[in-house]
């Protein structure tokens, strides 16, 4: 009998210890840790022009979906495409053009355009060179910076300059729209072609000269899941959420146009 009681008491002690450990894990400090451990982590590859707005959108999504953490990796769309081609671990992709996304059809789910954008001329604060429009960019005395032709914003820029017969000799061609904007912000360039939303995000450092709609180009932003995702359901939920009124409101508050 003594042995039987001892065994029962030992078992009860073990169960009691496990119960205490479980309660401790569910305490006020452990609640978030438990959610994170049991939650989902999504990695989203996104065009660099989405850097600011996706910080807000990601926080809103995490608030609406407790236990899900969204991490963004920003770069030029052509760089993102290369990462997908190399098998980079990620769950979803958002590019700044449909051309890049279409080239990845074998690697993605069906894309949906979530936003649109237009180009502006970014100048130094106060527009010291008094740039008034696209034709001014042909002035050889100006230091103009553009994105490289393989970058969506570079391709859009090339398109609108060619359509107006304007020959611009850039001092450099950058790998992303944020790199172009940085050159203007730092005074290393007098002007550059960027998205309207990028100029707006840096309104305290640069001025934006509007380009008339008839001379402009429309940039479309498609989003899609990646077939290699280990979180297919959660990735699909995030991509779908980008078209909801909540997400669209965040995008439009940042200056993006409706899809």
Q: Strand pairing partners for 195? A: 119
In the numeric block, which tokens belong to residue 210? 């509007």
Written as six digits, the tokens of 35 are 């959610």
Looking at per-residue pLDDT, the higher value among 10 and 166 belongs to 166
Question: Is 10 inside any structural domain?
Answer: no
Q: Do 198 and 247 belong to one domain?
A: no
* 65 and 145 share one domain: no
**Together in a domain, 107 and 129:** no
Q: Is residue 214 part of a domain?
A: yes
Q: Are residues 198 and 73 in the same domain?
A: no
Convert the pLDDT of each residue in 41-85 to its tens digit: 999 999 999 999 999 999 999 999 999 999 999 999 999 999 999
Domain assignment of residue 2, yes or no: no
Same domain as 91, residue 121:
no
DSSP designation for 97: S
- Domain shared by 224 and 146, yes or no: no
Tally of domains within the chain: 2
- DSSP tag of 113: E
**Domain shared by 112 and 225, yes or no:** yes
How long is the chain?
259
- What pLDDT, on a 0 to 100 scale, did the predictor assign at position 38? 52
Are residues 183 and 204 located together in one domain of the fold? yes
pLDDT category at 39 given cuts 50, 70, 90 is confident
Residues 163 and 189 in one domain: yes
Same domain, 144 and 53: no
Based on the fold, state whether residues 137 and 122 are members of the same structural domain. Answer: yes
pTM of the model as a whole: 0.82
Element (H, E) at 72: strand 68-75
Which three-class secondary structure state does DSSP give residue 170? Answer: coil
Same domain, 112 and 238: yes
HSE-CB of 233 using CA atoms within 13 angstroms: 3
Q: Which domain holds residue 82?
A: 38-116+220-253
pLDDT in tens, 87-139: 999 999 999 999 999 999 999 999 999 999 999 999 999 999 999 999 999 99
- Buried/exposed code over 20-57 (b: 16+ C-beta within 10 A; e: otherwise): eeeeeeeeeeeeeeeeeeebbebbbbbbbbbbbbbeeb
CA distances from 170 to 16, 62, 117, 189 (A): 73, 41, 23, 9
């Amino acid at each position: 009998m003594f042995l039987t009681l001892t065994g029962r008491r030992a078992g009860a002690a073990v169960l009691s210890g496990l119960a205490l450990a479980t309660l401790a894990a569910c305490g006020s400090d452990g609640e978030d840790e438990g959610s994170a451990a049991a939650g989902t982590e999504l990695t989203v590859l996104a065009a660099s022009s989405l850097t600011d707005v996706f910080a807000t959108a990601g926080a809103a999504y995490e608030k609406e979906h407790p236990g899900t953490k969204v991490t963004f990796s920003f770069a030029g769309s052509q760089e993102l495409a290369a990462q997908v081609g190399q098998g980079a671990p990620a769950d979803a992709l958002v590019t700044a053009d449909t051309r890049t996304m279409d080239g990845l059809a074998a690697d993605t789910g069906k894309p949906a355009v979530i936003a649109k954008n237009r180009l502006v001329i970014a100048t130094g604060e106060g527009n010291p060179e008094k740039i008034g429009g696209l034709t001014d960019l042909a002035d050889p005395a100006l230091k103009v910076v553009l994105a490289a032709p393989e970058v969506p914003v570079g391709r859009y820029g090339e398109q609108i300059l060619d359509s107006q017969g304007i020959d611009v000799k850039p001092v450099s061609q950058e790998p992303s729209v944020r790199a172009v904007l940085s050159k203007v912000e730092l005074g290393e360039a007098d002007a550059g072609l960027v998205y309207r939303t990028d100029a707006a995000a840096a309104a305290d450092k640069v001025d934006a000269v509007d380009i008339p709609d008839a001379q402009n180009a429309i940039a479309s932003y498609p989003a899609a899941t990646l077939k290699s995702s280990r979180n297919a359901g959660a990735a699909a939920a995030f991509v779908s959420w980008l078209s909801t009124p909540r997400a669209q409101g965040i995008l439009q508050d940042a200056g993006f146009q409706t899809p």
